[in-house]
Structure 1
Amino acid sequence: MAGHDEVRNGQCRCGQVKFRARGAPIVTMACHCTGCQRMTASAFSLSVLYPSDQFEIVEGEPVIGGLHGATRHFFCAHCKSWLFTRPEGMNELVNLRTTMLDKAVDLAPFIETWTREKLPWATTPAIHSFEALPPMEQYPALVAEFSERRGPR
């Protein structure tokens, strides 16, 4: 299986929280929603989706930040770096902030979401764009295309 042995390490800005993702990512994304703009102080957030069982915290203890609802955003308590998100109703997935990984250069966004809220000058190399989130029935095809385009690692 492509990417089966792939290991990606990451950490917050100060290094107090470290994590690891194993295996191939499911998909990469850029989110243009105003919530992500405010949490990143940028035009969009970048993320890479992994199965929860392929993700582990190896040092430190992240804390919940951002909105404290059903979707949980996790941060370093010391430097306040936004590390990952556990989406509401999707306990089997973890959405890592791409730039928190030690090696992120090959994880350009494949999908961009919430383009109806994007700043007009913000651009990404994403192949697929959605005004909000992609319809759930489109995810299997998007994930398959992402995997095919990434090829063996």
Structure 2
Amino acid sequence: MLNLTLPAEGGCRCGRARLRISARPLLTMACHCTGCQQMSSSAYSLSAAIPAEGFEITKGEPVIGGLHGASKHYFCGYCMSWMFTRPEGLDWFVNLPPTMLDDPAWFTPFIETWTSEKLPWADTPAVHSYAALPAFEEYEGLVAEYARSQA
């Protein structure tokens, strides 16, 4: 397993929007829902839940895209790369696709969600799998288990 070196920087495909993280992920995930499949143009999306105080935009002004719903999906306004998501009511973290970082080699999904919608061949090395989402009360234990696995 490769280690994440902090701070870590990254940005969109065209480079007009840049970001920096200075905190380790609380949890790493792969989401197989059809919405993520469509938005990522892939079999699933990847994300790392970064504590909000450890996340900053250093260049550019990402714009809201996607469905413009409760959770806000932010994109580069020029190349339209999906850069990060701020889930509604959960302001204490930002979901960052690890591929937005300049070096995403450290990333492995710890949980996978919405496996009920996954493509039959789309397997991940996630430790925990959920047909939909984990129950809200499960997250504290998952975050603690993930932290132990990274120590």
TM, length-normalised to structure 2 = 0.95
- Please tell me whether the aligned partners of residues 72 and 85 of structure 2 are also in contact (alpha carbons under 8 angstroms): yes
For the aligned residue pairs, the C-alpha RMSD in angstroms reads 1.2
Quick check: 1:80 aligned with 2:97? no
Counterpart residue type for residue 68 of structure 1: H
For 1:135 and 1:8, how far apart are their aligned partners in 2?
31
Aligned length: 148
Residue of structure 2 in register with 1:138 after alignment: 138
List, as ranges, runs of 4+ consecutive aligned residues in structure 1 with deviation greater than 4 Å: none
Residue of structure 1 in register with 2:129 after alignment: 129
- Please tell me whether the aligned partners of residues 23 and 55 of structure 2 are also in contact (alpha carbons under 8 angstroms): no
- Please tell me whether the aligned partners of residues 63 and 75 of structure 2 are also in contact (alpha carbons under 8 angstroms): yes
- Please tell me whether the aligned partners of residues 26 and 48 of structure 2 are also in contact (alpha carbons under 8 angstroms): yes
Quick check: 1:24 aligned with 2:34? no
User: After the TM superposition, which residues 43-62 of structure 1 pair with which residues of structure 2 at under 5 Å, given as runs?
Assistant: 43-62=43-62
For 1:56 and 1:23, how far apart are their aligned partners in 2?
11
Counterpart residue type for residue 74 of structure 1: Y
Structure 1, 5-14 or 106-115: larger mean CA deviation? 5-14
Q: 1:26 offset after TM fit, Å?
A: 0.5
Q: 1:6 offset after TM fit, Å?
A: 2.4
Q: Which runs of 5+ in 1 are unaligned?
A: none
Q: Which runs of 5+ in 2 are unaligned?
A: none
Q: Please give the per-residue CA displacement for 1:113-135, whole angstroms capped at 9, x wherever unaligned.
A: 00000000001110000001111
Counterpart residue type for residue 121 of structure 1: W
